[in-house]
Amino acid sequence: MNRRTFTASSILTSLGLAAAPNIIAGQNKFNKHKFNLKYAPHIGMFRNLAGDDPIDQLNFMADQGFTAFEDNNMGTRPISLQEKMASTMLKRGLEMGVFVGYKDFKNPTLSGGKDEARKDFLKQIRGSVEVAKRVNAKWFTVVPGTIELRLAEDYQTANVIESLKQATSILEPNGLVMVLEPLNWYRNHPGLFLRESPQAFNICKAVKSPSCKILFDIYHQQIQEGNLIPNIEKCWDEIGYFQIGDNPGRKEPTTGEINYKNIFKYIHGKKFSGILGMEHGNSKPDKVGELAVIEAYKLVDSFM
């Protein structure tokens, strides 16, 4: 056995994974897995196994059987790299998930209703349309900013709805969807305007557009409101995208308290054909941690 084979085999042994990926004589190659849902890794998740080059990482994801990919930072990457990544995704059958289209974690940009903030929001939405076209994306994330303490919540909500309605007039002709992400107050983002799934549901109903949907981040909503499957059920008509992370820790499924196998079984049973972004860290470092992520998804995906 040569050194590369021994190293990979040692990693698998240290994980104690009987069903770990096969290492083909002398090469770190893996059996391609067929997942039941479109789980989407992100750049950096497999850098130790695939290398630092984003293109190599995309190819590695496809080799493992993943059929989608998301990249919060896509909009800030050089255009030449965006185009190269888009070409690779097309060749390898990877569907593009979300990138961040608009976010503000410090200011009441949309809730305050000021004209200048709304103009900047719409400018960024137009820019996101160009990125989406370049990388064959359908969805991008919108975080509407913080609460405005000088306004009653109903006025803030009206301001947010008006901004989103104006954005949909840009998005609908292009067939694009902004997904609104409620984020938890208790551990990560205190003070943000959008924090709960019923709130996002009501806003989407008021906007009344196929270009405005919910990004249901299971990690954030476990912390903020719990009762995950019933809340997913109530919001179902307005959910366009999911993101994943276990709690506590925001690492891969099986590392915390969330029963992801049951949640994925429910989502699959609803015939969800969209993407579930793997927006979490790895619980273990280096190659060991990256292999553990792959095995965790195989485990929680085994609900059939």
Q: How many Cβ atoms are within 10 Å of 249's Cβ, its own excluded? A: 14
**Containing domain of residue 149, as a range?**
33-300
pLDDT above 50 (res 14): no
Q: Considering the domain boundaries, does residue 283 fall inside one?
A: yes
Q: How many Cβ atoms are within 10 Å of 190's Cβ, its own excluded? A: 12
Q: Considering the domain boundaries, does residue 25 fall inside one?
A: no
User: Rounded CA gap, 165 and 174, in Å?
Assistant: 15
Structure tokens given for 70: 């998301």
Q: Considering the domain boundaries, does residue 18 fall inside one?
A: no
User: Rounded CA gap, 298 and 253, in Å?
Assistant: 10
Q: What is the pTM of this model?
A: 0.91
pLDDT above 90 (res 16): no
DSSP string, 173-185: GGT-EEEE----T
Binned at pLDDT 50, 70 and 90, residue 31 comes out as: confident
Q: Are 276 and 267 in contact (CB under 8 A)?
A: yes
Q: What is the DSSP letter of 236?
A: G
User: Rounded CA gap, 221 and 68, in Å?
Assistant: 23
Q: Considering the domain boundaries, does residue 257 fall inside one?
A: yes
pLDDT above 70 (res 154): yes
Q: Considering the domain boundaries, does residue 176 fall inside one?
A: yes
Quick one: what percent of the chain has pLDDT higher than 90? 89
Binned at pLDDT 50, 70 and 90, residue 1 comes out as: very low
Residue closest to 292 by CA, chosen among 103, 112, 48: 48
Domain total of the chain: 1
Q: What is the DSSP letter of 239?
A: E
Q: In this structure, what are the phi and psi dihedrals at residue 168, rounded to the nearest 5 degrees?
A: -65, -25
Q: What is the CATH number of the domain that holds 296?
A: 3.20.20.150
Structure tokens given for 9: 């085999």
| Residue found under tokens 């695939």 | 50
Q: Considering the domain boundaries, does residue 66 fall inside one?
A: yes
> How much is the mean pLDDT over the chain?
92
pLDDT above 50 (res 26): no
pLDDT above 90 (res 22): no
For residue 1, with 0-12 CB atoms within 10 Å meaning exposed, 13-18 middle and 19 or more buried, which class applies?
A: exposed
- Give me the mean pLDDT over the 99-121 stretch: 98
| Residue found under tokens 């240290």 | 14
Q: Considering the domain boundaries, does residue 295 fall inside one?
A: yes
3-state class (DSSP) for residue 19 = coil
Instruction: Tally the residues of the chain.
Output: 304
Q: Considering the domain boundaries, does residue 249 fall inside one?
A: yes
pLDDT above 80 (res 4): no
- pLDDT for 139: 98
